[in-house]
Amino acid sequence: SPRLLTEPVAEMDRLNDHSLNGYMENIAGSQFQDKVIDQVTQNSFVFFHAPWCAHCKSLEPVMQEVGRHYLEDPSFMLYRIDGTKNDVLHPGVKIVGYPTLYFFPAHGKFSPLEYDGERTLEAMITFIDAFKQEPQQQQQQEGSEGSVSDDEHKIGGNSVSEIVVDAAGEAEEVGRQQQKLAEQRLQQQLEEGKEQRALEVE
């Protein structure tokens, strides 16, 4: 398979140390997974640009203001990627021109939203605030689109056996069939949340 295009991480460190871009972090293609996708408590707004792009240059000050606006918000990061030097393999990201802006919600990293609204600070803040997810919402987001009840979320437990035993205790009163369904749902919930929980432990 062809090698992915990526700038050296050392070059990103140099850019971030010596630029006036304190409100926006430059990242390389090789850092995308770690900085954006794996951060399950962080919302990310990614600015894909090209050095020769005049529209990108005119958008820079607005992006800086966006970064400054959210500077004190630990659940939000603004990143800049040079799309001409870095490949980003993601099923939801399609770069057909520059600038391109994508918002990755904290718990929806595989369903990013392309921003195609007005390129003003006010419009971007309205968009980000509408879709930004707080870290404590993760429990609700782990289930399949709200189909998992609050009671099941409260069951907790760190292993399959703990969760299933608790579920079985509750389900005993309502019959074997419902117990089976509860266990299946919890097993699915555990599988979906396992990766995120492992990341939180780290």
What positions carry a catalytic annotation?
53, 56
- Which amino acid is residue 9, in one-letter code? V
Q: What is the dihedral of CA 159, 75, 10, 31, to 10 degrees?
A: 50
Q: How far apart are CA 71 and CA 137, in angstroms?
A: 21
Rounded Cα distance between 72 and 201, Å, is 24
3-state secondary structure of 44: strand
CB 183 within 8 A of CB 167: yes
CA-wise closest residue to 109 among 44, 17, 30, 64: 44
* Helix (H) or strand (E) segment spanning residue 25: strand 25-26
Paired tokens of 70: 């959210």
Closest CA to 156 of 125, 129, 190: 190
CA dist., res. 81 & res. 5, Å (int): 12
Which residues lie across from 81 on neighbouring strands?
Answer: 48
